Structures are given as C-alpha cells and as structure tokens.
Amino acid sequence: MQDRTHLVDHITGHRRMRRNRKADWTRRLVQENRLTVDDLIWPIFIVPGSGIVDPIAAMPGVNRMSIDKAVEAAREAAGLGIPALATFPNVEMELRDETGSNSLEANNLINQATAAIKKAVPNIGVITDVALDPFTSHGHDGILRDGEIVNDETVDQVARAAVMQADAGADIIAPSEMMDGRIGAIRMALDAAGHQSVGIMSYATKFASAFYGPYREAISTGGLLKGDKKTYYIDPANGTEAIRDAALDVEEGADMLMVKPGLPYLDICWRMKEAFGLPTFAYQVSGEYTQIKAAAMNGWIDGERAMLETLLSFKRAGCDGILTYFAVEVAKILGKR
C-alpha cells in the first residue's frame, strides 16, 4: 500500500483539529456550549398610564411599557419559554426626591407592575432592583447628603424597599446600588418578614462603565445625574477588587451573582464562577445592545449573528444565564431551530 502520509501529519503528530469540524453533524456533536431560551432574562421598562408602548430612541426595538402592556409582554415571554423578567420603573419626575422616598411606597410603579404580572402570568419569574436611581431627583443609586452618597442610610432604605417588593410578589431581589453590606441587610429583612423563599441576585460586580447611557435614557435619569458613580461602582481596571466584592456578597447570603456590564468583563464572569460556584449571570447592558443594533442597521455587521455570538460568549465564560434586551428576539430564533 502506498504511504500517503503528508508533511502535515508529521508536523501535527497525526492530530488534525479539522476532523471534528468537517461536517455539520460532527460540529453539533462536539459543540461545548449552547445558548437556549432557558438562559434568557428579559429586562423591561415600566411607565405610568395605560395602553403605552413608547419606543426608546437610543435602544432600537426596546420600548417603555405601561403595566397593561407589560403584562402582555410577560405573556409573550412566557409563551416563548423565557424564564424571567427584570423590571425597571420610569416614575414621574414629581415623585423623585433627594432620598428616593417613593421606593418605600407599597403601591409604587414597580410594585404595581410586579403584582399585575404575577397575577396574570404566575409561571414567569419577576426580578426587581432596589437601587434608588429611578426614584431620586439626582439620578444616583443612593441617598445624597451634602454631596455624598451615604452608605448606611441607603442600605436601611433598600432593605425596607426589598421587603415591599417581595410583598408585591417579586421572586428575586437584585440590588444594584453597590452599597457595602446591602446583601446581608436585605437577607435579614426578607427573612424577618417571612420571605425566606425570595432569592437575592447580587449585582456583585457592577463597574463604573461607559455602556450605561441608553439605559439612563430609558428610565429618564441621564439628565438628572450630578457627578458620577465612581465612589460606589467598581473601577473597570480592578479585577481583583471585583472578586473581593463578590466574595463579601457570597458571605452575606447572595443566592446568585451578576456581572455588569457583560462583554467587556468576560474575564470577571469566568473568575467569579470559578471562585464561588454560585449561579452566575451577565447583564448585556444597553450600550452593548445598542452598538450591535446600530452597526446592524447601518449594514456594517450581520446583527443576528453578532447577537448570538456575543450571547454564546457569556456561556463560554461560565455564565448560567444572561440579562439581555435581545431576549424575545433570540427566543423566537431558537424556537425555529
């Protein structure tokens, strides 16, 4: 028999990586990570009123919705198999003040939305945030006193707000304001109120990022913000500090951990999953969403492929799921496969 060994066989030691790539069936057989509808959490924006579907200019395809329309959206999401929604309110300007006091109104916009969604679509999860930025007149996530975001008073308030959100039917509290000690305080408050089954998804590593701009437009805080959030969000340069921050949240009782933003911090996703083994999530934030949409609208990239590729990258980095404004779009694509 003629020896048909090639120089490449000698170079590679007869190991050829392309053997497993040669056909669709082999590629499917050896695929290491898969994106499924079970990985998706859909963030939605709530406004007062009824019958409102208000497009957000900076986030093509994303709308602010009144509660009745949010209920319809929840039904659609549940029908597509999306496990959970994350709700964010855009409250009236006259209800915003220095302390974000409307966060402590039991019947405020976010709690009304939770109650309505859980009543109409009980099989979908509702994740709520207790950060104060939608409720403050200055756009910060906490209480502003003499030019400082005060930690302990803010923690007291978000813990009280968390109980009210749980009372309204929230399944998971996701505190994003990055105050020290908030996870432990919220856990103690929830348990004292009999909400032992309500989970906490900690925004364990929320960075002082440039990618939040469109979100701030969505909840009308961009023009309100005085100064920046660098005294309580994490410096984008600091990976080790981010892991230390997450470790404190784990010790205080977090059930799940989140990295925000997502794509610029895939290394943090991986390090956090490896370090703690807790369910880990990434928030593909508004700026990440918008840059894909904008480039696709200009014909510069294949928007669908870029969307799916970025979402898959979170799975490869160890994430158990992703908060993404693409959730419904992705769920429809996956449903056709």
Point out the residues that are catalytic.
206, 260
Radius of gyration of the chain (CA): 22
- State how far the Cα of 313 lies from the Cα of 326, in Å rounded to an integer: 15
Bridge partners for 259 per DSSP: 205, 282
For the chain, how many residues are written? 337
For residue 28, give the amino acid letter. Answer: R
To 5 degrees, how large is the angle CA 168–CA 173–CA 174? 140
Query: Are the beta carbons of 184 and 248 closer than 8 angstroms?
Result: no
Query: Are the beta carbons of 101 and 57 closer than 8 angstroms?
Result: no
To 5 degrees, how large is the angle CA 325–CA 96–CA 124? 35
- State how far the Cα of 6 lies from the Cα of 206, in Å rounded to an integer: 53
- State how far the Cα of 177 lies from the Cα of 155, in Å rounded to an integer: 9
Ordered DSSP codes for 206-241: EB--STTHHHHHHTT-TTT--S-STTTSBPTT-HHH
The sign of the dihedral angle between the CA atoms of 183, 186, 192, 194 is negative
Which stretch of DSSP H or E encloses residue 29?
A: helix 24-30
DSSP 136: B
Which stretch of DSSP H or E encloses residue 74?
A: helix 67-80
- State how far the Cα of 193 lies from the Cα of 187, in Å rounded to an integer: 10
